[in-house]
A and B are shown apart, each in its own frame.
Chain A
Amino acid sequence: MSILAEASNLKKYFEINNGVFRKDSTFIKAVDDISFTVNHRETLGLVGESGSGKSTVARLFLNLIHPTAGEMRLNGIDIVGADSRTMKMLRQQIGIVFQDPSVSMNPRATIEWSLRRPLLTNGKKKVEIDSQIGDILQKVNLGMEVLTRYPHQLSGGQQQRISVARALLLQPQLLVLDEPTSALDISVQAQVLNVLLELQGEFDLAYLFISHDLNVVRYISDRVAIMYLGKLMEVGPVDTVLEHALHPYSRALASGSPPLSPHQRRRNRLLLSNEPTSMIDLPSGCHLHPRCPYKKGICVKVPPELQKVEKGHMAACHRIGKI
């Protein structure tokens, strides 16, 4: 599979200003040296809990915020240093879908307006715009009557499908989805997931699917990357990582996730102790060590690097294979 998008040593630190004269600043390392790739036509699941940095990664990829360090490339083209003309082209290649569908569209504008804007802003001709909008609505199983409505007049599922439609109008190659189904009911989630799968096949899309729900990620992803407090813990094919996780955090997530059936209740569970630490006061060495049942001396002192364990499967833990 060929690489569509990649992030190399991506860092995003947010400065918190303490003190009146801004002399003592501390940093929140929201994303701390992350590297990953998204291949053409694949779905990479990005999993993490709150504070993991996954939403920051989404915003970095869309150039909504600038990285502190590191590179991002789309089809080999550098995103970070792109001039405005290249940026304009790149923006059309990446689309985004947000978590809360009720605020994804301008509440004071009709759906038609919200769908026309991306096309108008990118210089499409009026003639093409109407037919493109009609086409894309059909693809997400919505009728033309939604065009005259306002967002609050539509259901959550409809709003989210419009969000997907808008993201696809510029015919991107990569769609970044930030918790796209977390705010939806189960049956509505199923509709949106089905639509996403159909569209992926029809338009040859790649998805960066960000979620905290492991069942959804397992269902829709080909590969998965697990983040914790700004760092990557494990990356690999989704079934391998979730069934045979190497990293204690991945195991905790996988086994701590509520089961799909009561028969799985007595499953072996790895529960992490305590709470995730604050992002200001990160632990030394491996960030997980205060909560990890397998911690040894080295874990407190040395941050683990992502090591390749087998083809396509990497984990950042000093104790791989010994636990």
Chain B
Amino acid sequence: MTDRTPILSVRNLEIKFKTPAGLVNAVNRVDFDIQTGEIYALVGETGCGKSTTAHAVMRLINSINAPGHQIKGKVGYKNLDLLSLPDEEMCNIRGKNISMIFQNPLDSLNPLYKAGYQIYEAIVLDRIAKVDAWHRVLDLFKDLKIPDPERSISSYPQELSGGMRQRVMIGMMLSRRPKLLIADEPTTALDVTIQAQILNLILALRDSLGMAVWVITHDFGIVAEIADRVGVMYAGVLVEEGDVFEIFDNPIHPYTRMLLESLPQGSKHDKRLCTIPGTLPDPTLDISGCPFQDRCPMNYEKCSRKTPPLTMIRTGHKTACHLATKEV
């Protein structure tokens, strides 16, 4: 299904933000690959840095929206390093090679332009003739199963429902056939029945376009539904990564295990949900050792001294934990 060439290769990504409270470590030395054609889910709770990672890869963090920020590391796409690309070249990458869809489509679509026009705008960037471009827009609307395509094309975003808007945004982002689609909480604002349709759509488009999808979510249900591989983030660190079945069936990192145990499954008569004591560590402090140490039921002496590196435990299954690598 997937060949071994990664479409995206993130190495040693470090992101810090300047806030009134001090320098915040949002992302702390994250390494991962996304393979061509696979669906990679980056999952974690609020403040883990998953969304920030994606924004940094797309170079959406700049000195206007985040003055004083620092980004280090390398993001490999084809044989380019996206982090060191000049702005105009990065503009060519966005939309054409890597696209991103966001949580709230109403915020992402311009309310002053009709839906069809916004997709047309993207298509003509590739110097397609106007007539052909409009045909493509209509075809796209049909592929996306947007009801009443002719009327929807001339509707304004506010006139469309949430699910339709999300489809329009997907259409806009896929109109130039990128190799990688980044989906940041794509269904959070949608109803369950619509969510199911959108996830199906993403799967179908992945199959027909052969593109990779990087999903960012806090919802394990979405991960279970469509992911091929999963990365779990906590406090800016990638703590576990592996095949989706592996992660669900045999989680290794204590955080992953406790998190999966806290998902409501079955009924209250069976068990109480597992909770994770404590709170996130202060992101303005540089912690020595494992970021999860204060909340971990294991917490050995080595955990506060040395940061556990992301290590391969089984084939394709990595984790950052001293206990797992039997080094305590």
- Measured CB to CB, the residues of A under 8 A from B are 49-50, 155-156, 185-191, 193-194, 197, 212, 214-216, 218-220, 238-239, 252-253, 256-265, 269, 271-272, 274-276
Contacts and interface: CB of A to CB of B under 8 A. Distances in A.
Contact of A215 (B195, B199, B263): B263
A193 B264 contact: yes
Secondary structure at the A interface, as helix, strand, loop or mixed, is: helix
A159 B171 CA distance: 39
Nearest to B46: A185
B248 interface: yes
In the A-B complex, the 5 residue pairs with the smallest Cβ-Cβ separation, listed nearest first, are: A258-B221, A219-B264, A190-B262, A256-B196, A49-B191
A32 B225 CA distance: 35
B265 A215 contact: yes
Given A185-B45, A212-B192, A239-B267, A191 B221 contact: no
B90 interface: no
15 contacts: A49-B191, A155-B279, A156-B46, A185-B218, A186-B45, A186-B262, A212-B192, A218-B267, A219-B264, A219-B268, A257-B221, A258-B224, A262-B223, A262-B227, A262-B248
A257 B192 contact: yes
Given A215-B221, A258-B195, 16 more contacts: A49-B191, A49-B193, A155-B279, A186-B259, A186-B262, A187-B276, A189-B264, A197-B272, A212-B192, A253-B193, A256-B195, A256-B196, A260-B265, A262-B224, A263-B248, A271-B200
Contact of A275 (B147, B195, B272): B147
Contacts, number: 118
A252 B267 contact: no
Contacts of A261: 224, 248-249
* Most chain A CB inside 10 Å of its own CB: which residue of B164, B264, B267: B264
Nearest to A249: B193
B20 to A, nearest CB: 15
Contacts of A265: 224-225
Nearest to B267: A219
Contact of B220 (A186, A190, A252, A264): A186
Contacts of A260: 220-221, 224, 263, 265
A218 B263 CA distance: 12
Interface in B155-209: 161, 163-164, 191-197, 199-200
B222 A258 contact: yes
Given A214-B192, A215-B264, A260-B263, A187 B224 contact: no
A253 B193 CA distance: 6
B163 A275 contact: yes
Nearest to A291: B193
Given A187-B258, A197-B268, A262 B263 contact: no
A263 B225 CA distance: 9
B179 to A, nearest CB: 25
A257 B221 CA distance: 8
B193 A194 contact: no
A259 B244 CA distance: 13
A220 B196 CA distance: 23
B187 to A, nearest CB: 9
Contacts of A257: 192, 196, 221
Contacts of B163: 275
B65 interface: no
B219 interface: yes
A264 B224 contact: yes
B193 A272 contact: yes
Interface string B257-282: 01100111111100011111001000
B113 interface: no
A220 B245 CA distance: 27
Contacts of A263: 245, 248
B221 A187 contact: no
Contacts of B258: 187
A119 to B, nearest CB: 29
A259 B193 contact: no
B45 A256 contact: no
Contacts of A258: 195-196, 199, 219-222, 224-225
A220 B248 contact: no
A41 to B, nearest CB: 13
Contacts of B268: 197, 219-220
Given A197-B272, A215-B221, A275-B164, A186 B263 contact: yes
B266 to A, nearest CB: 7
Interface in B76-134: none
A49 B161 CA distance: 13
A49 B265 contact: no
Contacts of B223: 262
Contacts of B273: 190, 193-194, 219
Contacts of B147: 274-275
Contacts of B222: 258
B46 to A, nearest CB: 5
Given A155-B279, A187-B275, A275-B161, A259 B224 contact: yes
Contacts of A272: 193
B131 to A, nearest CB: 30
A49 to B, nearest CB: 4
Interface string B206-243: 00000000000011111111010000000000000000
Contacts of B224: 258-262, 264-265
- Residue of B147, B199, B263 with most partner-chain A CB within 10 A: B263
A216 B161 contact: no
B286 to A, nearest CB: 22
A8 B263 CA distance: 35
A193 B197 CA distance: 29
B267 A238 contact: yes
Contacts of A239: 267
Nearest to A264: B224
Contacts of A190: 262-264, 273-276
B191 A218 contact: no
Contact of B264 (A49, A218, A264, A271): A218
